Amino acid sequence: MPVPTYGPLAFSSIWIPRVLILVLSGSSIAAPDMYQPVLDAIYTSLRQSPPFTTSTFETWWTVIIYAIIEGTYTYRFARNPQLRLVNRGKDSIGTKPIPKMQRPKHRIFEGLTYISPLLLLDLTLIKKYAGVSVHDMALSGNYNLSSLTKTIHGTFLAPTLHNFTTSSPLQTRRALPVSPPSSRELALQLLTSLFIYDTLFFFFHLTLHHPKFASIHSQHHNHREINPQITNQLDIFERLGLVLLANFSLNIIGSHVLTRTIFVLIFVWLLVDIHSGMDLQWGYDKILPQGWASGSKRHSLHHRVGNKYYAPFFNWWDDAYEWVCRKRFEGRGKTGVSGLM
């Protein structure tokens, strides 16, 4: 099967998402008043929606978004062999068979192992978001403020258990900010949280490749060919680490609840995209300026060799790490780049 190449027309079409993202992000930051009526209407509607106020909303929202995005990528992977990276290499001869992949009905256990620990946290801990008063947090956790005997801190760094009673056995709702964020706050919070996560996960991922922790991370690398379903092929410890790091990245900068909701869309898309095993015309690494993003090709190489390219989304930490490795080996009179672990 012939492997398509992206010619001048494809190159020019990549400017469509580039321009759209640039205009949207730039105007969101420069002219927030233009978007405020829309954000007010959206957030008011969400805040009045019962599902949005439940403590488990973000867990179910993430599962739904993941199922849609990963399912779409998986379908495209299976139906378009010419896009698969293994069929696009210069040494590739013919079309390689599709790797063994699971149907949705065979992934119920995988879904339960992802959802269960998150639901446990959702139903036992009070949600603490920026812009919410301690008073409202306490009420959502079934605490009677007139007879409160413990101090409830508003910071997410001090977790607070729900006040379990027969009338309120579980934490079922979350207190939300009254007002929506501005488009400037929304855009800057999304960008900053992604950069923070990329940094934190780089070091977390690097640690997982240390021999002491290899057994934890080996499950993620146990495949014949990287494909979209590998995204969630994780040990429970690594999966929790990924979720907690994402939450920390959002909470540490006081991200609004609406920011968190949109973050899930972008975050899941990026995770599935780097594990897609495909060379897509509108991959995010092609949309961003050259050299900024890792993308599916670079992450696929990480899965093959395992000793480079640890950052999930961007290249800066990996480039810095390679530079340090290079200097270290040059100082020993050696050449080449290799991992320190």
Q: pLDDT tens, 130-182? A: 999 999 999 999 998 776 667 789 999 999 999 999 999 999 999 999 999 99
- Are the C-beta atoms of 284 and 322 separated by less than 8 Å? no
- Are the C-beta atoms of 220 and 233 separated by less than 8 Å? yes
H helices of the chain, where?
Answer: 8-13, 15-30, 32-47, 50-53, 57-79, 108-122, 134-140, 183-208, 214-217, 236-251, 257-274, 284-287, 295-305, 316-331
DSSP annotation of 181: P
H helices of 209-256, where?
Answer: 214-217, 236-251
**Residue in 209, 222, 198 with CA at minimum distance from that of residue 338:** 209
Q: Please tell me the distance from the alpha carbon of residue 309 to that of residue 326, in angstroms, as a whole number.
A: 14
What is the reported pLDDT for 148? 66
What is the reported pLDDT for 1? 46
Q: Which residues 6+ apart lie within 8 Å of 80 measured at CB?
A: 278
List of the chain residues with pLDDT < 70 = 1-12, 89-95, 147-149, 333-341
If you count them, how many residues does the chain have? 341
What is the reported pLDDT for 101? 82
What is the reported pLDDT for 287? 93
Tokens 């321009």 belong to 19
Q: Please tell me the distance from the alpha carbon of residue 181 to that of residue 200, in angstroms, as a whole number.
A: 25
What is the reported pLDDT for 42? 98
Q: Please tell me the distance from the alpha carbon of residue 241 to that of residue 261, in angstroms, as a whole number.
A: 19
Cα 121 from chain centre: 19
66: its two tokens: 């993941």
What is the reported pLDDT for 339? 46
What is the reported pLDDT for 91? 47
What is the reported pLDDT for 192? 98
- The CB density around residue 67, as the number of other CB atoms within 10 Å, is 14
